[in-house]
Amino acid sequence: MAGSHPSALAEKRRALLDLRLRRRREEVLAQQEAAPPEGRPRPSGRTVSPLVPLGPAGTEPPLFLVHAAGGSVAPYVALAGLLGDDRQVCALEDPGLHGGAIGERSLADLAATYLAAVREARPDGPLHVGGWSVGGAVALEMARQDGDVALTFVLDTAVPDAPSRPGDDELSAWFASDVAAMGAEPGEAELAERFPVFAANVRALLTFRPSRVDSRVVLLCAEKSEGEKLSRWRPYADEIQVVPGDHYTMLRPPHIEALAEAMRHRLSEVSVR
């Protein structure tokens, strides 16, 4: 639209997504909670592996990256291609996107589920884990539970100042803003599928409290993020580096190369120890 300011376009997109989401929210939540027909199992009864390899196996230990609030591993595809041919990236996607259970959850429960899948794939040796946004908090909890994690990447993850539980209307607005900031234009069916996953993960993050873990923890924080994000992580991170971009653009060109370089550097340091 000629002459329109980018921020105005973003606001219009967020408003449109919010309206579409509000029309479907009640229907979607009712479907998630409805009991299955008698004699038929719930879809969540299926075993859905959360592991999604994003490249061929390499000679170096793999890096396991946990999904953000939306549950998809798509944001890691480009990053995986920049971390080196000798290191496989295995992402962890939320099974709720594929018929798995959603409901009430905690990050500790997610971490336990994902850690079991990771240790099935790599039963021996120290792990390298990480995640963007909510995924960074889950990765930190995985490191705490496992006790044999060499390196944990926390990619621009927020630490809430106090536990909270936002309602569906507030989460709908956050979801619409998140989708718009990602530059996505999903249809109503995809919005309906993804909102319960987003809502469950955000609510879990808002009750999360980090702790010191027996792992080297590296926070890579976007330069346009709030200053409080850095200050709240200082007691828990061994190293903090600011990388170009904001919460979303740090994973896109041209900023993604700087993020990948910072991660490659830390991974190489761990490899030579």
pLDDT at 47: 59
pLDDT classification of 164: cutoffs 50, 70, 90: confident
Instruction: Give the pLDDT confidence of 31-79 residue by residue, as tens digits.
Output: 444 444 444 344 444 457 899 999 888 899 999 999 999 999 999 999 9
What is the Cα–Cα distance from 207 to 86, expressed in whole angstroms?
Answer: 37
Short-list 166, 151, 232, CA closest to 199: 166
Look up residue 242 and give its amino acid: V
pLDDT tens digits, 186-233: 788 888 889 999 999 999 999 998 999 999 999 999 998 877 778 889
Q: pLDDT tier at 20 (50, 70, 90 boundaries)?
A: very low
Q: Which two tokens stand for residue 141?
A: 């909890």
Q: pTM, whole model, 2 decimals?
A: 0.82
SS (H, E, C) 173-217: HHHHHHHHHCCCCCCHHHHHHHHHHHHHHHHHHCCCCCCCCCCEE
Give the H or E element holding residue 135: helix 134-146
Say whether pLDDT at 9 is over 70: no
Half-sphere exposure at residue 268, Cβ-oriented, CA atoms within 13 angstroms: 9
How much is the pLDDT for 226?
Answer: 74
100: nearest Cα among 41, 141, 58: 41
Own/partner pairs for 227-232, CB < 8 Å, 24+ apart?
228/161, 229/156, 229/157, 229/158, 229/159, 232/159, 232/161
Spatial separation of the C-alpha atoms in residues 142 and 114, rounded to whole Å: 8
3-state secondary structure of 51: strand
**Identity of the amino acid at 128:** H
Tell me which residue of 104, 62, 220 sits closest to 154, measured CA to CA.
Answer: 220
